[in-house]
Structure 1
Amino acid sequence: MLIANWRQVLKRAWSVRLIIAAGLLSGAEVVLPLLPLPIPAGIFAALSAVTTAAAFIARLLAQKDMTDANP
């Protein structure tokens, strides 16, 4: 069951934004080795891990303009 304010959460929650960023970084880790760029191996995987940890913390913190619509 979705929370009542799921649209607001998708638009404003930092945890959602950080999860999307982590997904993009994970995708970059897969695609970039195919390109001839001098980027160290594992850098995007490490950035993705840090971003995922930040998303976990952001999910636990109260965020401005976000209210819990469910009792």
Structure 2
Amino acid sequence: MTDAALFRVVRGTPTDEELAALTVVLTAKAAGGQQPAEPPRSAWASYWARRRAPLTPGDGAWRASALPR
């Protein structure tokens, strides 16, 4: 097995711990392991859409329903 450099330090003097941390990050990134993206949820399935304010009948209720709360 050859000891080919995976990366090289261009500037600065990193410690052994810093190089080890960088090696772990680059190895994990190269391994992939990407999580599958969760499909977007429909607004119809939203929990908060079902938890809306109760209907309140009365004078001007239809007008007040369009006002911000």
TM-score, reference length from structure 1: 0.27
Larger relative helix fraction: 1
TM-score, reference length from structure 2: 0.27
Higher relative contact order (CA 8 A, sep 6+): 1
